[in-house]
Amino acid sequence: MTNTKKRLLTGLQSSGTLHIGNYFGALKPFLDIYQDYDSYLMVADYHSLTSLRDPEELRKNVYNVVRDYLAVGVDPEQVVIFRQSDNQDHMELAWVFNCLVTVPFLMQAHSYKDKVAKGLEPNAGLFTYPMLQAADIALYDIDVVPVGEDQRQHIEYTREAVGKFNRAYNDLLREPEEMILSGVGVVPGTDGQKMSKSYGNTIPLFGTREEIKKAVMSIVTDSEGDIPENVYAIHKLLRTEEELAPIYNEHKGRYGDLKNILVEDLETLIAPMREKRESISDEIVESVLAAGKKKAQEKSSETIDKVRKAIGIR
């Protein structure tokens, strides 16, 4: 039987210790769809090099990202999980794209401007970052790229690079579409603002029971009514409104009780993932990456061979 599934790829950079905002906003939406596609999950370590110069941390981050995805339930048999730096075809196609797009075009990239505005060094790698991302995608003949809203422009840049290539040479490469993962919208933190590691208002995704409890107890409940809004907003991610109605009715106004119930519900979600994560050794990660490397190279080598012929190299 021929495989008629569409092809999907997304790239991951380590974002440190994950929180439940990351889970409901990014990981869970990915879990919900990846098996419907011929899927690739790539750890973008060369992209991280644009801002990270600690070799040990760079290496550790790769392992941690893979571990996080395996722990939340991504099945490595159903998706090719691989490391960008394990496949030099990415570097080669990125260069080809760099020779097709212009400096003024790259200067318009929001993410470049944002990062420089935040004080990151404007190194040339950061500047050409979108062309490496375009190569990540075009090499695997990808139809859809699930990403957060912040990455929309990078997929537009990919289409532009691919379009330029196709017009300059043969119509060889596929133009991908972004698939914006909206998840559940914005998950609020313990202070009611967007949950974010930069605000110190997170509930850690792989936290111990004590850590979860500490975070939940710190949820700000200065509302006057029967329902502590910030508690309810997080609870809603775990149970339906129908399930919550009798609970919130029974414990009306007793915020402490409701927080304790939330701790239990979070523990039910988190404990199995936390335990799974602890059981994933470096060796397991390495064997997943080794298998992924082989499959990724198999696919990308077809593309890069055609590209080389088309541009007149070898």
Interface positions with ligand ADP (CB under 6 A): 15, 21-22, 24-26, 148, 183, 186-187, 194-198
- Both tokens of 37, joined, read 């596609």
Query: Is residue 292 a contact point for ligand TRP (CB under 6 A)?
Result: no
Query: Is residue 27 a contact point for ligand TRP (CB under 6 A)?
Result: no
Q: How many CA atoms does the CB half-sphere of 227 hold within 13 Å?
A: 14
Burial zone of 149 (CB within 10 Å; 0-12 exposed, 13-18 middle, 19+ buried): exposed
For ligand TRP, the binding residue among 34, 39, 41, 47 (CB under 6 A) is 47
- Both tokens of 267, joined, read 């523990």
CA angle, 100 then 104 then 107, to 5°: 110
Catalytic status, residue 194 = yes
Among residues 5, 28, 60, 115, the one annotated as catalytic is 115
**Quick one: 181 or 266, whose CB is closer to ligand TRP?**
181
Query: Is residue 13 a contact point for ligand TRP (CB under 6 A)?
Result: yes
Nearest alpha-carbon partner for 51 in 110, 140, 118, 143: 118
**Quick one: 148 or 163, whose CB is closer to ligand ADP?**
148
Burial zone of 275 (CB within 10 Å; 0-12 exposed, 13-18 middle, 19+ buried): exposed
Find which of ligand TRP, ligand ADP, none residue 137 binds, CB within 5 to 8 Å per kind.
ligand TRP
Query: Is residue 139 a contact point for ligand TRP (CB under 6 A)?
Result: no
**Nearest approach, Cβ of residue 270 and ligand TRP (Å):** 24
Query: Is residue 144 a contact point for ligand TRP (CB under 6 A)?
Result: no
Please tell me the distance from the alpha carbon of residue 120 to that of residue 61, in angstroms, as a whole number: 19
Query: Is residue 48 a contact point for ligand TRP (CB under 6 A)?
Result: no
Catalytic status, residue 236 = no
For ligand TRP, the binding residue among 8, 81, 139, 145 (CB under 6 A) is 145
Query: Is residue 133 a contact point for ligand TRP (CB under 6 A)?
Result: yes
Residues 36-58 as b/e (b if ≥16 CB within 10 A, e otherwise) read ebbbbbbbbbbbbbbeeeeeeeb
Among residues 194, 214, 295, 306, the one annotated as catalytic is 194
Applying CB under 6 A, the span of 75-83, 130-138, 195-203, 270-278 interacting with ligand TRP comes to 130-138
Residues 256-273 as b/e (b if ≥16 CB within 10 A, e otherwise) read eebbebbbebbbeebeeb
**Quick one: 114 or 226, whose CB is closer to ligand TRP?**
114
Among residues 197, 236, 299, 306, the one annotated as catalytic is 197
| Beta-carbon contacts of residue 175 (< 8 Å; ≥ 6 apart) | 158, 159, 162, 163, 166
Catalytic status, residue 197 = yes
**Nearest approach, Cβ of residue 148 and ligand TRP (Å):** 7
Please tell me the distance from the alpha carbon of residue 270 to that of residue 24, in angstroms, as a whole number: 12
Query: Is residue 44 a contact point for ligand TRP (CB under 6 A)?
Result: yes
Q: Cβ–Cβ contacts within 10 Å for residue 292, how many?
A: 23
DSSP 82: E
Applying CB under 6 A, the span of 147-155, 166-174, 239-247, 293-301 interacting with ligand TRP comes to 147-155
Nearest alpha-carbon partner for 205 in 60, 47, 67: 67
Applying CB under 6 A, the span of 9-17, 207-215, 273-281, 287-295 interacting with ligand TRP comes to 9-17
**Nearest approach, Cβ of residue 117 and ligand ADP (Å):** 16
Query: Is residue 11 a contact point for ligand TRP (CB under 6 A)?
Result: yes
Nearest alpha-carbon partner for 255 in 220, 208, 211, 212: 220
Site for ligand TRP, rule CB under 6 A: 9-11, 13, 44, 47, 133, 136-137, 145, 147, 151, 154
